[in-house]
A and B are shown apart, each in its own frame.
Chain A
Amino acid sequence: MADERKKNGISLVLEHLGTTAYRMVEELGNVFVLFLQCVTGLVRPPSEFRNIMKQMEEVGIRSLPVVLVTAMFTGMVLALQSWSGFQRFQATHFVGSVVALSITRELGPVFAGLMVSGRVGAAMAAELGTMKVTEQIDALVTLATNPVKYLVLPRVIAATAVLPVLVIFADFVGILGGYFVAVYLLGANPYLYVNKTYQYLTFTDIYTGLIKAAVFGFLIALISCYNGFNAEGGAQGVGRATTRAVVASSMAVLVSDYFMTSFMF
């Protein structure tokens, strides 16, 4: 503390920056270490089948209503907005194509990812954080149970596997929502709308979305578990860890989305 007073403003700023960068790199490294531990846990017995199922139910089935409502309204608002845009140059029959392409390529996976990161990521971080601060994880270690294999691995596997399935539902419901709005509210020709929806949609559009979703699920689970594992200092620490988990996993979803899209474009 005595040293810091001697330092001038510039070096304070620089030091702050340096510390931040150092922490970021350290955290990234820690997350990667967690990932490697997961991989080693994957090949070691016993299998965590029941545990994985439980997490799948949690991540998939329990998240389904949230994801479906989000996707439905995304599709609906997309139809509404693109209708008002296309109407200006008499191309309203392309609304179906735009809705289908936007939902399958981008909005379905991203919104599902954000919803899951908010719902499930927060839950994971809070659960593991509580276990951490109440020293349950240390207890697991004393019981000769690998906490990463027992707690993290099932969540990562479940999220990675289930998010694409959620996105399939989201795609379907989103397109359906767009259809309802376009046909029943805006008076589009139902036959033409369906025709246009599928005319320009290719299988690539759908499966690139699903690949994205799998990556999102993986990132959300890994980051949330990491934050939960590193919670410190009682209830407050759990809350902090939860917030960080949601923020970090949402950012990871959006940032990785851009890079994956540019890669698979």
Chain B
Amino acid sequence: MSREAKVGIFVILGLVILMYFTFRVSKWGGVAARGYKLTVDFESAAGLEPKADVKMAGVPVGKVEEIRLVGDRARLDLRIDGKTRIPVDSVASIQTQGLLGEKYVEITPGKRSDQTLPPGGRVANTVPPLNLDEMIRKFSMMSDDIKRFTETLSGTLGTEEGKQALAEIIRNIREASAVLRNVSTANEDRLNRILANVDRLSTDLQDISSVNKEDLRATMANFRAFSQTLKEQTPGLASKLETMGDQVGGVVGENRENIKESIANLKQAFGKLDNTLSAAERVMAKIERGEGTLGKLVNDNTTVGSLNDALEGINRYVRKTESLKTFLDYRLEYLAESSEYKHYVNLRLQPSPDKYYLIGVVDDPRGKLTSQSVTTTTDGVTSRQQQDAYSNKLKISAQVAKRFYGLTLRGGVIESTGGVGADYEVIPEKLTVGIDAFDFARKGNRQPHLKAFGNYDIVKNLFITGGVDDIISKDKNLRSFFFGLGIKFADDDLKTVLGAVPLRP
């Protein structure tokens, strides 16, 4: 082999390896430029690197090609293998391999496998990456709920009313017991005496009975004696009992109101306590049985799942409404020919970047045409003259618009008549030129209304407009230059404005 050939082989081999490296480290990595591109927006792409995997059901189906900031969201360009089809309602999320591993994009396939995303399409549904802060926030929300529940319970038992009732019960019981003690101490002597008398009586009776055993007569005599004694003693005893009764009665009588009140209060307080407890018991029983939201929440595992689903649903709904953009604009046009002003108010609902609906109201100074034939006779010559008069009229516009790159085609109702229009964005988000054609069946055999205009955004919310109105009209005073200016509010501005309005007291 010649020296040159050896060197040639050496260099070619080197270049082959270099090409191999170049291919492997190039932007598309293993997937190369094959496959197709999808985009997806996330609130945060933190931790995600270009060339990270895209997985569907855990199987790598592509790579993240590019990550960039669009507005305030992260837009990812995904390169998907050619043969992988992704249903339109699939959900994309940023996942982590393991707890602290690297991030990748997981696509959870949707149900509508008959409709798949086309190349260049966007995965509309995303799950925001779960972060610790959010988890902590959710937990604190849950603990707030629990706190509120316990607060309700303690509110039933621990209100001022409840506290007062309890305090009253205790006070009344104390008073009552004090009264009872007073009564018993004051009548101690008398009670002792009564007891002594009773004691003596019983001794006598015992004596009588023992004597009775010996002699019936003696018994009889004793009985007589007893009865005699009884006869002698009875009046004293009775009077003693009477006085004691009087005294007790007096004591009770003196404190009757107090006692009565005590008892009533006690009854009331116990009633309240009873109610409270039974109510609490009912609540607890309900929770125990799994009735009610709280009970379900506590007892049923599936409720947690469905709650999660519900939250997710709300999230998705919120996101969908977020993706629906709303623009409101007001425009004032000065028609040079007739020195009149034309006002426009338009509401633009934009569900996706390439489509919007436009609903508007136009205050047209030349909206209404009244034609009048005037017959004048001057010097015997009768001349008929057509006199046209225009008057103010409110008109409505309702259009559907579809966007193809810079070109937007519109159609629908323009100024209360059928019409079509087209806009072209010359400088993105700055200069737009367009043309509207409408009012094809115009009164008085006139030409259709053709309007060419250009809009230039001076700043985000303020734009100037100018152009020619009614270009192909044969009536000179209808064809007119116009210029004007307008303000427009995008979603965020509206949100800010509406957010400032207090919705809740």
Residues of A in contact with B (beta carbons under 8 Å apart): 53-54, 56-57, 60-61, 64, 104, 162, 164-166, 168-169, 171-172, 198-203, 205-206, 210
New A-B pairs, 11, CB < 8 Å, besides A104-B21, A165-B15, A169-B14: A56-B7, A57-B3, A60-B7, A60-B10, A61-B6, A165-B11, A168-B17, A198-B24, A199-B49, A201-B21, A203-B21
Contact B17 A172 (CB under 8 A): yes
Q: Which of chain A's residues have a CB closer than 8 A to the CB of B17?
A: 168-169, 171-172
What are 19 contact pairs spanning A and B, CB under 8 A? A53-B4, A54-B3, A60-B7, A61-B7, A64-B10, A104-B21, A162-B10, A162-B11, A164-B14, A165-B10, A165-B11, A165-B15, A198-B25, A199-B29, A199-B51, A201-B24, A202-B25, A203-B22, A203-B25
Check if B177 is an interface residue, CB within 8 A of chain A.
Answer: no
B159 to chain A, nearest CB (A): 57
Known contacts A199-B49, A206-B22: A168-B29 contact under CB 8 Å: no
Check if B243 is an interface residue, CB within 8 A of chain A.
Answer: no
Residue in chain B with minimal CB distance to A165 = B14
> How many B residues, CB 8 Å from partner?
21
Check if B18 is an interface residue, CB within 8 A of chain A.
Answer: yes
Q: Which of chain A's residues have a CB closer than 8 A to the CB of B15?
A: 165, 168
Contact A206 B10 (CB under 8 A): no
Check if B26 is an interface residue, CB within 8 A of chain A.
Answer: yes
Q: Which of chain B's residues have a CB closer than 8 A to the CB of A165?
A: 10-11, 14-15
A40 to B20, CA, bound (A): 37
A61 to B14, CA, bound (A): 11
A122 to B113, CA, bound (A): 70
Contact A61 B51 (CB under 8 A): no
Q: Which of chain B's residues have a CB closer than 8 A to the CB of A104?
A: 21
A201 to B20, CA, bound (A): 13
Q: Which of chain B's residues have a CB closer than 8 A to the CB of A168?
A: 14-15, 17-18, 21
Per CB-CB distance, the 6 closest pairs between chain A and chain B, nearest first, are A165-B14, A168-B14, A201-B25, A56-B7, A198-B24, A172-B17
B62 to chain A, nearest CB (A): 14
Residue in chain B with minimal CB distance to A64 = B10
Contact B25 A206 (CB under 8 A): yes
Binary CB contact string for chain B from 244 to 279 against chain A (1 if under 8 A, 0 otherwise): 000000000000000000000000000000000000
Q: Contact partner of B10 among A61, A172, A205, A210, CB < 8 A?
A: A61
Q: Which of chain B's residues have a CB closer than 8 A to the CB of A171?
A: 17, 21
Q: Which of chain B's residues have a CB closer than 8 A to the CB of A61?
A: 6-7, 10
A87 to B450, CA, bound (A): 74
B48 to chain A, nearest CB (A): 12
Known contacts A169-B14, A198-B29: A206-B21 contact under CB 8 Å: yes
Residue in chain B with minimal CB distance to A56 = B7
Mark out the residues of chain B between 1 and 55 whose CB falls within 8 Å of any chain A CB in the assembled complex.
3-4, 6-7, 10-11, 13-15, 17-18, 20-22, 24-26, 29-30, 49, 51
Q: Which of chain B's residues have a CB closer than 8 A to the CB of A166?
A: 14
A250 to B294, CA, bound (A): 79
Residue in chain A with minimal CB distance to B19 = A168
Name the residue in B11, B17, B18, B26 with the highest tally of chain A Cβ atoms < 10 Å from its Cβ.
Answer: B18
Residue in chain B with minimal CB distance to A49 = B4
